[in-house]
Chain A
Amino acid sequence: MAPQGENRTDADLTGEPGSSLHGVTGHEVFPYINMDTVPEEATDLKGRKFSLPVDSEHKAKKLKIYSFARPHMLTFHLSWISFMTCFFSTFAAPPLLPIIRDNLGLTKTNIAHAGVASVSGSIISRLLMGTICDLFGPRYGCAILIMATAPAVFCMSIVSTVDGFILVRFFISFALATFVSCQFWMSSMFNGQIVGLANGLAAGWGNAGGGITQLVMPLVYDLIAKNIGADNFTAWRLAFFLPGCMHIVMGLIVLAIGQDLPDGNYSSLKRSGDKVADTFFKVLQYGVTNYRTWIFTITYGYCLGVELTVDNIIAQYFYDRFDINLTIAGTIGSTVGLMNIISRPAGGLISDMAARRFGMRGRLWALWTLQTIGGVLCIGLGLLGSLGPSVVVLVIFSIFMEAACGATFGIIPFISRRSLGVISGAVGAGGNVGSILTQVLFFSNPSYSMEKGIMLMGVMAIACTAVLFLVYFPQWGGMLCPPSKATEEDYYGGEWNEAERAKNLDRNSLKFAENSRSERGRSRQEQTSDSAPSTRV
Chain B
Amino acid sequence: MSAMKIALVLAVALLALVSVAEAGVSFKSLNSSRTLTVQAKIQATNVTSGQAHVGTDHLVISWALNSSFDGTGKDARYVNVKIKLCYAPVSQTDRGWRKTKDDLEKDKTCSKGITQQKYVSTGNTTTWRITKDVPGAVYFVRVYAVDAVGTELAFGQTTDKTKTTNLIEIVPISGRHVSIDIAAAVFSVFSVGSLMGFLSLEAIKQRKANSKAGHFFRAAFTDIIRGHSVLREIKIIKSKC
Q: A147-B191, A391-B10, A391-B14 are in contact. Are A103 and B172 (CB under 8 A)?
A: yes
Determine how close the nearest CB of chain A comes to the CB of B238; give it in whole angstroms.
Answer: 16
Q: In the bound complex, how far is the Cα of B181 from the Cα of A395, in angstroms?
A: 42
A165 within 8 Å of B (CB atoms): no
Answer whether residue A354 sits at the interface, using C-beta atoms and an 8 A cutoff.
no
* Distance from A180 Cβ to chain B, minimum over Cβ atoms (Å): 19
Contact B7 A391 (CB under 8 A): yes
> Given that A109-B94, A342-B3 are known contacts, is A233 also in contact with B132, CB under 8 Å in the complex?
yes
Q: B93 within 8 Å of A by Cβ? A: yes
Nearest CB in chain B: distance from A328 CB, A: 7
List B residues 1-44 near A (Cβ within 8 Å): 3-4, 6-8, 10-12, 14-15, 17-18
A47 to B219, CA, bound (A): 20
Which listed residue (A232, A241, A271, A343) contacts B209, Cβ 8 A?
A271
With the chains together, A322 CA to B14 CA distance in Å?
11
State whether the Cβ of A20 lies closer than 8 Å to any Cβ in chain B: yes
Partner of B184, one of A107, A157, A328, A391: A157
B14 contacts A234, C-beta separation under 8 Å: no
Min CB–CB distance B30 → chain A (angstroms): 21
Partner of A150, one of B18, B181, B187: B187
- What is the bound-complex CA distance between A387 and B13, given in angstroms? 11
Whether B102 is near chain A, meaning CB under 8 Å from some CB there, is no
Is residue A31 contacting chain B, with contact meaning CB distance below 8 A? no
For the complex, give the distance between the alpha carbons of A326 and B111 in Å.
14
Within 8 A of A (CB), among B61-113: 93-97, 106
Whether, in the assembled complex, B210 has its beta carbon less than 8 Å from a beta carbon of chain A, the answer is yes
Of the residues A148, A237, A392, contact of B11 by C-beta under 8 Å: A392
Taking a contact as CB atoms under 8 Å apart, the answer to whether A26 and B175 are in contact is no
Q: Is B160 an interface residue (CB 8 A)?
A: no
Taking a contact as CB atoms closer than 8 A, the residue among A105, A233, A326 that contacts B173 in the complex is A233
Chain A residues, Cβ within 8 Å of B217: 21
Residues of B within 8 A of A236 (CB): 175
B128 contacts the other chain (Cβ, under 8 Å)? Answer: no
Given contacts A144-B195, A155-B184, A248-B194, contact A324 B176 (CB under 8 A): no
Query: Which residues from chain B contact A154 at a C-beta distance below 8 Å?
Result: 184-185, 187-188
Q: How far is the CB of B111 from chain A (nearest CB, A)?
A: 10
Q: Are A108 and B220 in contact (CB under 8 A)?
A: no
Q: Are A388 and B15 closer than 8 Å at their CB atoms?
A: yes
SS class, residues of chain B in contact with chain A: helix
Q: Check B188 against A150 for contact (C-beta < 8 Å).
A: yes
| Alpha-carbon distance A492/B216, docked complex (angstroms) | 32
Which residues 462-511 in A have Cβ within 8 Å of B in the complex? none
Q: How far is the CB of B38 from chain A (nearest CB, A)?
A: 24
**Does any Cβ of B come within 8 Å of A25's Cβ?**
yes
Chain A: number of interface residues, binned into ranges: 35 or more
Within 8 A of B (CB), among A330-385: 332, 335, 339, 342-343
* Contact A158 B176, beta carbon cutoff 8 Å: yes
CB contact list, A110-165 vs B, under 8 A = 140, 143-144, 147-148, 150-151, 154-155, 157-158, 160
Docked-complex contact B192 and A160, CB < 8 angstroms: no
Asked if B136 is at the interface of the complex by the 8 Å CB criterion, the answer is yes
A158 to B187, CA, bound (A): 13
Q: In the complex, what distance in Å separates the CA atom of A203 from the CA atom of B180?
A: 34
Q: Is A238 in contact with B3, judged by CB distance below 8 angstroms?
A: no
A342 to B8, CA, bound (A): 17
B213 within 8 A of A: yes
Complex: chain A residue closest to B209, CB-CB:
A271
Query: For B12, what are the chain A residues with a Cβ–Cβ distance below 8 Å?
Result: 388
| Nearest neighbor of B55 in chain A, beta-carbon distance | A231
How far does the Cβ of B138 sit from chain A's closest Cβ, in whole Å?
11
Q: Which of A150, A237, A245, A328 contacts B14 (CB 8 A)?
A: A328
With contacts A107-B95, A388-B11, A392-B7 known, what are 20 further pairs, Cβ within 8 A? A102-B135, A102-B172, A103-B172, A147-B192, A148-B192, A154-B185, A158-B180, A158-B184, A231-B133, A233-B174, A237-B176, A247-B191, A248-B190, A324-B14, A324-B18, A332-B10, A388-B15, A389-B11, A395-B7, A395-B10
> What are 19 of the A-B contact pairs (CB < 8 Å)?
A18-B219, A18-B220, A21-B216, A25-B224, A105-B136, A107-B94, A109-B94, A147-B195, A148-B191, A150-B187, A231-B132, A237-B175, A238-B180, A241-B183, A245-B187, A271-B210, A325-B17, A387-B14, A388-B12
Interface residues of chain B, those whose CB is within 8 Å of chain A, are: 3-4, 6-8, 10-12, 14-15, 17-18, 93-97, 106, 132-133, 135-137, 172-177, 180-181, 183-185, 187-188, 190-192, 194-195, 198-199, 202, 206, 209-210, 213, 216-217, 219-220, 223-224, 227-228
Closest CB pairs A-B (n = 6): A233-B175, A102-B135, A151-B188, A107-B94, A150-B191, A154-B184
